[in-house]
Each structure stands twice: as C-alpha cells, then as structure tokens.
Amino acid sequence: MNPLNTQKTYLITGGAGFIGFHLSKSLLERGAKVVGFDNLNDYYDVRLKTDRLDILKPYDNYTFVKGDLADKESVMRLFQEYSPHVAVNLGAQAGVRYSIDNPDAYIQSNITGFFHILEGCRHFPVEHLVYASSSSVYGGNDKVPFSTTDQVDEPVSLYAATKKSNELMAHAYSKLYRIPVTGLRFFTVYGPYGRPDMAYYKFTQKIMAGEPIQLYNNGDMYRDFTYIDDIVRGIENILCNPPAENEKGVRYKLYNIGNNKPEKLMDYVETLERCLGRTAVKEFLPMQPGDVYQTYADVTDLMNDYNFKPDTSIEEGLGRFVQWYRSYYGV
C-alpha cells in the first residue's frame, strides 16, 4: 500500500461541502496541495459553506475555484489549469427526500456533472479518480450486511439511481480510457460542520429549541452511522492506491465505508439526548417514500486491502458533534 503523497495536487469537487471540507483540511495539514471546486448552492445554509472555506483559505497550498459541475467549460478549464494528479469527486446534489421534489437538480449535478468530471479525467489524464457513491444504492435489499458484490438494480429514490448511474459511467470510462477509478459507498456520515439536512443535525436543532422531532417508521429504523474522521481516513488510504487491473482488465474498484455496526434509530436519539442533556419531544410517523429500513456495511475489502475499518462509537462521535454545535451556534 502506498502512503499518501503530499507532493501531489488533489482536486476536490464539493470542496465547500461537509466531506470535502474535512478531507481538504486534513490534506492541507499534511502539506498537500489542494484545489477545491464548488458552486456554493443554497440547498442548505450557505454560511456554513463559506465558514468552512474561511478555515481552508489561509493555507498557502489551497486554491478555491467557484464553479458548477454542470458547466463543462468550467470543469475542463479546471483540469487544464491545475493538472491534478488525483481527482476526488464529492460534488453532488445530496438528499433522498429532496430528490422527490427537485429531480432536475440531481440530473444536472449527479449525472451531467459527473460526466464532465469523467471527461476531464479523459482529456487531462489523472493518476486516480476517486468518487463518492452512496449506501442508498442498496435500496430495499434484505440481505445484510450490504456487500459491493450485491445486485443493486432496484433503487427506491432518484438520488440512489443517480449514484448507481455514476458507478456504471465510471466503469465504462475506466474500461474505455484506462482511467484508474475507485468508487466509495458512504454510509450515513455525521460530525462537526455536517449537513443541516441530515437527521442528527435537525434533531439537535429541534431538541435545543424544544420542538418535536420526527421519527419515521415509528422510529423502527437502523443506520450504519459513520463518523467523519473515519471517512477521511478511509479516503486518504485510497487516494494514492489506484486499483490494479481486475480479471477483465479494468482498473476499477468499489468499497463500502461504513461503521459495520448498524444502530437502532431510537438508541441514536437517546445517545444524542444524553450528549445534549435534554429530552426530545418525539413525533412518530410512517415510513417516508425513498427511505430504507436498514443500512449495514460489509467492509471486508477495506479491511483486507488497507487494514482499516471505521471504529468511532456514536457516543464519541455525537459527543464531538454536540461540542462543536454548541460552540458554533453559541448555545
């Protein structure tokens, strides 16, 4: 396994996003050169994105470019000007439920935008393309834990369908143009500077405000919650280790990055209540369209290839998030 090479230039799309910010900060602290790319859209509070950037911009080895993945000319110019050794595509329209109301945003960002990244890697060759997929691709699969060898042909949301499409597109480009590509299926990532549309963040806001929290499927759901630091470590292990050719001659690999330990939603809420020192007012509702009952990552490949698996407990992870939340919002 090759260690992280800090002499290389890393392009990170979605650079002002949750995972993009934390990965950028970690790489910058280790001395690597990072180029961030983001359109700073208003899917959630833009101030959170600009505050993340304010932390990154003082680094001498950081460059931020504002632009949209759906604008092919901007993406091509990005690759041409900065000649990244490694491209990390974290830019995407996120959220399962939002995809029901605003499908256009997902096609523009996740399909058209990802196509432009692939074209950039084709015309300005990179040593490795790493991109974010999602545990959502597993849909309503009953077999657990979820393995990257499982069939994932029955998505239950457009968001999941776009992420599965990314995997197919990336495989085709890897085969056609010999681009080394690794896809990462992330499982419910949480932590400081996280996304306000995520359940744990909304729960915290509502509990602190004394408002009821909504628990779908009457709270009977399981999630493989993965702390942000574990996600960053997993990505950094992979960046300088492009896949070798598989049995079909394609340099392509998929990994799950999850905690390998699904938590019952009600236990997660109880842990959050303890961290906040407050009790939530709970509103129990039926399952929402696009939601899945359970996520559970099989991380055997990650352990075999990198001797690594996420291991941050929800007690530790939520404790760190609550500490950040109180400081950030002054509550």
Point out the residues that are catalytic: 159
From the list 40, 35, 26, the residue with the least C-alpha distance to 62 is 35
Instruction: Give dist(CA 204, CA 196) in Å, integer.
Output: 10
Residues linked to residue 212 through DSSP beta bridges, in sequence order = 281
For residues 61 and 34, the answer to whether their CB atoms sit within 8 Å is yes
* Tokens linked to 180: 């080394």
* Tokens linked to 272: 């959050």
Residues linked to residue 243 through DSSP beta bridges, in sequence order = none
- Beta 252-257 vs 226-227: how paired, if at all? unpaired
For residues 232 and 12, the answer to whether their CB atoms sit within 8 Å is no
Residue with tokens 């915290």: 204
Helix, strand, or coil (residue 22): helix
